[in-house]
Amino acid sequence: MINFDFTNKTILIVAGSSGIGGELCKQFLNYGARVCIVSNSKKKLSNMIKKNDKYKSRIMTVRLNLEKKTTIKKINTIFLKIKKRFKANVDILINNSGGPPLKKIVDLRESDIFKSLNMNLLNQIYFSINAIKIMNKMEWGRIINLTSSTAKEPAKNMVLSNIFRAALSSFAKTLSIETAGKGVTVNTILTGGVATNRLLD
């Protein structure tokens, strides 16, 4: 059995209040990490704090609507809050996001496109830009993008996921090339079906 130890590591999980992100938060806390989770849902963030009450000194939450337009500068304030709370920089960034709605191309609306663009691509890019600046200085860091198998093989009626998941994978590969040799790794996991509430619903 592998004995993981994330003591003294600071983890930032985007969309970390439920589903895959929520489980990652739980496991990182179990293995000694300090964890910040970002989510738009005040209720879900509150529930995560309650569920992990025994780790309250090592967990923090930040509310951010990932579907809305933001800026690199605004995302940077999250990294500053983490450093102030934990007296440490982010060591590991988990770029996670909820899945966009099922859509056919002919049924797309502009609002669908821009919400998914923000939620599934731009925010992940902005988080990565802020993280990589810190990690390059530390000469150590991990950026992990959780996307979807649709990034490799487009799926029927999932045009939004097909487009933006593939784009994020391409961005991540480009970033990994730029950071090669600096002690920072960038990887993308193409998740398949997972028994989260989204799938069960």
Question: CB-hemisphere CA count at 13 Å for 12?
Answer: 32
Task: Copy the structure tokens of residue 94.
Answer: 């988990």
pLDDT grade, residue 148 (50/70/90)? Answer: confident
d(CA 149, CA 28): 24
SS3 21: helix
- Kindly tell me if the per-residue pLDDT of 5 is higher than 50: yes
pLDDT digit string, tens, across residues 165-201: 999 999 999 999 999 899 999 999 998 655 555 444 5
pLDDT grade, residue 138 (50/70/90)? Answer: very high
* Range 53-71 average pLDDT: 96
* Range 82-99 average pLDDT: 96
The predicted model scores a pTM of 0.92
